A = this chain, B = another copy of it.
Amino acid sequence: MRRVRYNVAASLDGYIATAAGGYDWIPQDSTVDFAALFAKVDTVLLGRHSYRAAKQAGETVWPAGSRVFVFSTTLRPEEHPDVTIVNANADTVVANLRTEPGDGDIWLFGGGQLFSRLLVAGQVDCVEVTIAPMLLGGGIPLSASGAPEVQLTLEGTTQYPSGMVTLNYHVRGTSR
């Protein structure tokens, strides 16, 4: 079974981007081992807002050659030929991706709404949050309002010179 990993950077107060989608508050830190993540991932999942923000950034922010699925009911597939637009049944699509052959990981890139929807459907295995030493005071939340209450198990932590700290969890289940 392939794992779905919600791997994001967040501020200490739980935002993954500013309200405008900005990421410039995340410290550049060359000691963060993106290579380890990229080596394991072959599939990327994004909501519409996260996809727009990633395209605006203009860089390759996921492993080259990955299959990219963007969950949106408004984007037109013909305008985004490099990705697969999924406009219905996100839960089923992800459930099918998880049972595909192979052992590549599925990177849930963001955002909070897609995360919350997949949590409800029991389709998220790991939550990996790199906390930047910032309070944003607002922005795009790590988990959407109204998401279920979910218990996690801490797997480990990593501290970086920039003051970022990665907290790795696996999902135990919803408690209510």
Contact = CB atoms under 8 A, between A and B. Distances in A.
Interface residues on A, range: 35 or more
Interface string A128-166: 010101111110011111111111111001010001110
A148 B86 CA distance: 37
Nearest to A156: B159
A12 B137 contact: no
A137 B143 contact: yes
Contact of A134 (B134, B145, B151, B157): B151
A113 to B, nearest CB: 12
A167 B166 CA distance: 11
Contacts of A15: 14
B138 A145 contact: yes
B157 A135 contact: no
A21 to B, nearest CB: 15
A25 interface: yes
Please list the 10 inter-chain residue pairs (A to B) with the smallest Cβ-Cβ separation, ordered nearest first: A14-B14, A137-B147, A154-B163, A133-B152, A135-B150, A13-B143, A13-B142, A13-B14, A133-B154, A138-B145
Given A12-B142, A12-B152, 9 more contacts: A12-B169, A14-B141, A131-B167, A133-B153, A137-B146, A137-B150, A152-B163, A154-B165, A157-B165
18 contacts: A12-B129, A12-B152, A12-B169, A13-B14, A13-B142, A14-B142, A25-B175, A131-B167, A133-B169, A134-B151, A135-B143, A137-B143, A137-B144, A137-B145, A137-B150, A138-B145, A153-B163, A157-B159
